[in-house]
Structure 1
Amino acid sequence: MKPVHQEKIQTDRTLSNSDLQPLKPEERTWKAVNFASIWMGCIHNIPTYATVGGLIAIGLSPWQVLGIIAVASIVLYAALALNGHAGAKYGVPFPVLIRSSFGIYGANIPALLRGFVAIMWFGIQAFAGSTAINILILNVWSGWKDIGGDWNLFGLHLSGLLSFVFFWGIHLLVLHHGMESIRKFEVWAGPLVYLVFGGMVWWAVDIAGGLGPIYSQPGKFQTFGEMIWPFLTGVTGIIGIWATLILNIPDFTRFAASQKEQIRGQFYGLPGTFVLFAFASITVTSGSQAAFGEPIWDVVDILAHFDNPYVIALSVITLCIAAISVNVAANIVSPAYDLANFLPKYINFKRGSYLTAVLALFTFPWKLMENEASVFSFLGTIGGILGPVAGVMLADYFIIRKRTLCLEDLYSARGQYMYDKGYNYRAFAAVALGALMSLIGSYIPAMKPLYDISWFSGVLIASFAYIFLMRVHPPDSILNETAQYEAGRKISG
């Protein structure tokens, strides 16, 4: 399918700027390799590494963990390819596409919520990457930790603060030429990360005496009945990490040369890549147990046990590239567009990117990480709200609109997506119901199964609720379309 494009879209200046406009065909240059490389770079990050370790820690065997990753990555791929369809077809970003379901002005609410989560994650990922920088400098200069004496900023000593600011600054260099520089960075960053992680796997297999001792470890769940619910919970947890990127994947697929390129590219970059990552994580951690006497699930802590400065330097550089890769793709692109959508007259994509980076500084992530469990729980709760948003988007595009949108109306305060003063209450009601039903299990024990699979329950409940509300109380624009269709059918009949 060729991408849809209208040469001239009439827009309200308060609703658009050049970065929010539909892309021209010559601007849609991303091939399958670009989408694959984004996922190759994104998956290899410290929090995901720890999540895989957490699945082993709750008693799942290495083979069961690989199964969880395989199933989760296939579901992720399907959700990303489906929600990316409209971006590839119309060449418009997520905050513009979501206007069709939430309303011209209502779209700002889920978009800004998505941006808020991304900004917090940007700070957390940047701080995690800066700890690796700190280890590298300490191995070169032992006095690094003592600079500044007792001075600190909310508990972070000068050495850590300088490492953080330095690493944060590298992100700005990647953003210098906007989405084009991101595309070029991801093409070589992803494969480089794989090269170094391959070396770590080689080390782990060698020191553990082969793969046999690693993958013969039994889990505590022996029967299908014992294993199935922890398995589904694990699948939900993995998907939850990327639930936000499912929402704004149109920000990337809008650059696809064709629908086929985004579908193929995400397939190449996701299922196989994620399973390889899980294999590497399990293998390296088991190697750490053989080498250091205990399993270490934090890859930065593993580096701290090495005394070879060259190994440490290469590994730290790779971890930093991986952290930048995931931060740029998952935590900068979306809020940049979301902020531009909120104030299009004053903020374009590049300004939105820099503003995102600056706001991330003021989250003081090292302070947030003092209570890591609470922060991740908070972000997970917001993620539980964003899952139903994806459900509404998918239901609107595929069921209600049947993959057909009016581009001009997406940029107009007088079109069919105005609903009631710019807000579609049906979308918000569906999200509220989906979020309530998926998260209530954390407070009511009887509803805990819905909470354990919160992403699935949230998406499905919100989808069905939205379709129901749009059918029972359709907006005037839908009624008019139906009436015109029926009139046309009678005339032709």
Structure 2
Amino acid sequence: MGIKLKNYKFENSNSLTNDDLKPIIKERRTWKTVNYATLWMGIIHNIPTYATVGGLIALGLSPWQTLGIIITASLILYAALTLNGHAGTKFGVPFPVLIRSSFGVIGANIPAMLRAFVAIMWFGIQTYAGSTAINILIQKLWPSWNSLGGNWSFFGLHLSGMISFLLFWALHLFTLNHGMESIKKFEVFAGPMVYLVFGGMVFWAISIAGGLGPIYSQPGKFRTFKEAFWPFVAGVTGVISIWATLILNIPDFTRFAESQEAQKKGQFLGLPGTFALFAFASITVTSGTQVAYGKPIWNIVDVLSRFDSPFVIAAAVITLCIAAMSVNVASNMVSPAYDIANLFPKYVNFKRGAYITAILAVFTFPWKTMESATNVMSFLGTIGGALGPVAGIMFADYFIIRKQELNVDDLYALNGEYTYNKGYNYRAFIATLIGAFFALIGDFIPSLKSLSNISWFVGVAIAAIVYVGLMKIDSPNIKLSTINSQK
């Protein structure tokens, strides 16, 4: 059964809301199981995910160890996503509004903008990844393409690459014409499309490697359980860190669910199984190139460059670009659009926030981040350490402190239950800083490197414990009321 929410009538003059931030009423909650399944299919099937899986192979893990990492990480992700998505479905509010219950109605802007910053970074990475595929296609059709502009470059990106980047960047803006409804429709189309390309690449990899046997018999450099344990755990953390952003803002999507069952079943169908299947394809291709060429090719665009047929390359490029747009729109435009709207609700709505996101992403210089597999994994570890504490606080606040109950009216009130001290809940900020400190300390103290290898888990656990402790020691006035929802 879905939750029947009444029609809220917050005034747009309220500095904490606009039409896109208000709770979703029952009539607009139309996302079904299939929509969440295809959402995750579209999000997972993309070039940086392939690069991350391939990067695990490049770092010395065996194909079977890598597949185990993906399956383990996807099950943990599913649990975290459905738990944090519960409040979105129950109350119909987006992430930047939901987090006001823990950080305060004003203080919530800080973690929301941290989340937005990471999403903008990822938007740039995904856009650059897709643009490199376009660049390969143009180069095959126009051999002198890469020499265009001579020695001119923009922070290391030559003119041909910059044109490809801006072309692909501009294509994303067309998906914003009808807001979240257009995203729902786009994901139904985009998700399954990628299977065509990766299915073909799997057969190609099996062919050049001489079968699946040589591919999956490669031992990797971590031969014993003791040797493989910490690399395995670090790999799980790195994979989870890819989606550390979506763990936070999954309420932006689950608020449109027709029921809790729809979001839970849909995310289960779209995440663990789909991720494992995609990982199998990525591992097979990367390890196949290792067998055939002596070293793993972790960048899928480099794999495409080895094909001679312009038709095959064109079909693959088009599909990969659709995949990159799919994940970009869903996971890297929705959240910052809401987050920026939350910061300036009087002036910025969802669509304007998305345009601002796209513009800022150009100046993140994503081609620098994508230079190597090591850069990608390092970036992911930092993300996990920074965002894990915020997730831990959200879990603790909703399930332990408030026992799944919220006063929705006060989420939009400057003087209400979530005002705390002038709009800020110092307890949440202290817990975030302590959680992030322990999660990232290994980057500065070599003897504690193991903590950084599991940064997301450390950040979640420590921040949650500290937050609950501070809320118990210095307890604010918590009403635990659900005057705006009916079970």
Q: Would the TM-score normalized by the shorter structure come out above 0.5?
A: yes
Q: How far apart in 2 are the matches of 1:221 and 1:254?
A: 43
In structure 2, the partner of 1:59 is 60
What amino acid is aligned across from residue 160 of structure 2 in structure 1?
S
Structure 1 residues 347 and 481: alpha-carbon distance in aligned structure 2, compared to 1, 3 A threshold: closer
User: 1:111·1:338 contact (CA, 8 Å) conserved in 2?
Assistant: yes
Alignment match, 2:303: 302
1:417 match: secondary structure: coil
Q: 1:365 matched to which residue of 2?
A: 366
The percentage of aligned residue pairs carrying the same residue is 68
CA distance in 2, matches of 1:176, 1:163: 23
Is the 2:57–2:296 contact (alpha carbons within 8 Å) kept by the matching residues of 1? no
Output the CA distance in 2 between the equivalents of 1:96 and 1:174.
24
Does the aligned pair in 1 maintain the 2:137–2:314 contact within 8 Å? yes
1:440 matched residue in structure 2: 441
After the TM superposition, which of the residue ranges 66-75 and 378-387 deviates more from structure 2?
Answer: 378-387
Q: Is the 8 A contact 2:63 2:287 kept in 1?
A: no
Residue equivalent to 2:187: 186
Aligned to 1:283: 284
What is residue 403 of structure 1 aligned with on the other side?
Answer: 404
Task: Give the superposition deviation at 1:55.
Answer: 1.9
Specify the code of the residue in structure 1 equivalent to 2:236.
Answer: V
Contact kept in structure 1, 2:52 and 2:373, CA below 8 Å: no
Match of 1:431 in 2: 432
Give the match for residue 219 of structure 1. Answer: 220
Relative distance call for 1:293 and 1:437 in structure 2 (3 A) is closer
CA distance in 2, matches of 1:108, 1:313: 43
**Alpha-carbon distance in structure 2 between the residues aligned to 1:368 and 1:289:** 23
- Alignment partner, residue 35 of structure 1: 36
Question: CA distance change for structure 1 residues 339 and 461 in 2, over 3 Å: closer, same or farther?
Answer: same
Q: Secondary structure at the match of 1:413?
A: coil
Q: Gaps (5+ residues) in structure 1?
A: 483-493
Counterpart in 1 of 2:163? 162
1:388 aligns to what?
389
1:384 offset after TM fit, Å?
1.2
Query: Would you say 1:19 and 2:20 are equivalent positions?
Result: yes
Structure 2 CA distance for aligned equivalents of residues 57 and 359 of structure 1: 31
* Residues 72, 314 of structure 1: alpha-carbon distance in 2 compared, 3 angstrom cutoff: same
Q: Which residue number corresponds to residue 141 of structure 1?
A: 142
Residue pairs, 1:81-100, within 5 angstroms: 81-100=82-101
Cα deviation per residue 1:47-101 (whole Å; 9 max; x = unaligned)?
2212212222333221111111111000000000000000011111000000000
Q: Hey, what's the Cα distance between the residues in 2 that align with 1:62 and 1:160? A: 32
Letter paired with 1:200: M
Q: Is the 8 A contact 2:8 2:22 kept in 1?
A: no
Q: Give 2:2's aligned residue.
A: 2
2:214 is paired with a residue of what secondary structure?
A: helix
- Is contact 2:10-2:17 (8 Å) kept? no
Measure, in 2, the Cα distance between the counterparts of 1:358 and 1:325.
18
Contact kept, 8 Å, 1:4 with 1:91, in 2: the verdict is: no
Comparing 191-200 and 365-374, the one that deviates more:
365-374
- Alignment partners' CA distance in 1, 2:200 and 2:383: 37
Check whether the contact 1:9–1:408 (CA below 8 A) recurs between aligned residues: no
| Mapping of residues 192-271 of structure 1, within 5 Å | 192-271=193-272
Distance 1:306 1:374, change over 3 A: closer
**Pair 1:344–1:418, CA change in 2 (3 A):** same
Equivalent pairs counted in the alignment come to 480
Q: Residue in 1 aligned with 2:339?
A: 338
- Cα distance in 2 for partners of 1:353, 1:63 equals 39
Cα distance, 1:297 vs. partner? 1.1
Cα deviation digits, residues 277-311 of structure 1 (max 9, x gap): 11101111233245545421111001111111111
Q: CA shift at 1:221, angstroms?
A: 2.9
Relative distance call for 1:311 and 1:378 in structure 2 (3 A) is: closer
Determine the C-alpha separation between the residues in 1 that align with 2:69 and 2:377. 21
348-357 or 1-10: bigger deviation: 1-10
Distance 1:298 1:57 in 2: 10
Segment of structure 1 superposing worse, 222-231 or 424-433: 222-231
Q: Which residue of 2 aligns with 1:459?
A: 460
Change (3 A) 1:311 1:95: same
| 2:408 is aligned with 1:413 | no
Check 1:61–1:45 CA distance in 2 against 1; reply closer, same or farther (3 A cut).
same
For the residues of structure 1 that align with 2:369 and 2:295, how far apart are their CA atoms? 27
Question: What SS class does the counterpart of residue 307 from structure 1 fall into?
Answer: coil
Mapped partners of 1:452, 1:349: distance in 2? 36
- In 2, Cα distance between the equivalents of 1:163 and 1:307? 21
SS of residue in 2 equivalent to 1:191: helix
Q: Name whichever of 325-334 and 213-222 sits farther off.
A: 213-222
In 1, the alpha carbon distance for the partners of 2:369 and 2:48 equals: 15
**CA 1:323/1:448 → structure 2, altered by over 3 Å: closer, same or farther?**
same
TM-score relative to the length of structure 1: 0.93
Contact 2:237 2:384 in 1 (8 A): no
Q: Distance in 2 between matches of 1:370 and 1:280?
A: 23
2:484 is aligned to none
Write the distance in 1 (CA, Å) between the matches of 2:437 and 2:294: 44
Shift of 1:481: 6.4
Matched, 1:273 2:289: no
- Counterpart amino acid of residue 141 in structure 1: W
Residue 79 (structure 1) aligns with: 80
- The question of whether the paired residues in 1 share the 8 Å contact of 2:70 and 2:275 is answered with yes
Q: How many Å apart are 1:140 and its aligned residue?
A: 1.1
Other structure's SS at 2:144 match: helix
In 2, Cα distance between equivalents of 1:101 and 1:325:
31
Query: Structure 1: how far apart are the matches of 2:375 and 2:203?
Result: 36
| 1:489 counterpart residue number | none
Question: How big is the shift at 1:372?
Answer: 8.2
Task: Report SS of the residue matched to 2:418.
Answer: helix
Relative to 1, partners in 2 of residues 1:164 and 1:220: Cα closer, same or farther, differing over 3 Å?
A: closer
Question: Is it true that 1:312 corresponds to 2:313 in the alignment?
Answer: yes
Q: State how far apart, in whole Å, the 1-side matches of 2:158 and 2:61 are.
A: 39
**Greater Cα shift, 446-455 or 122-131:** 446-455
Q: Which amino acid aligns with 1:142?
A: P
Amino acid at match of 1:283: T
Q: Gaps spanning 5+ residues in structure 2: where?
A: 482-487
Q: Which moved more, 1:377-386 or 1:339-348?
A: 377-386
Q: Which whole-Å CA distance do the structure 2 matches of 1:5 and 1:461 have between them?
A: 34
Q: RMSD of the TM alignment (CA)? A: 1.9
Amino acid at match of 1:101: S
**Structure 1 stretch 307-316 or stretch 41-50: which is displaced more?**
41-50
Does the CA contact (< 8 Å) of 1:9 and 1:407 recur in 2? no
Structure 1 window deviating more from structure 2 (294-303 vs 199-208): it is 199-208
SS of equivalent to 1:51: helix
Contact 2:237-2:381 at 8 Å conserved across structures: no
Matched, 1:329 2:330: yes
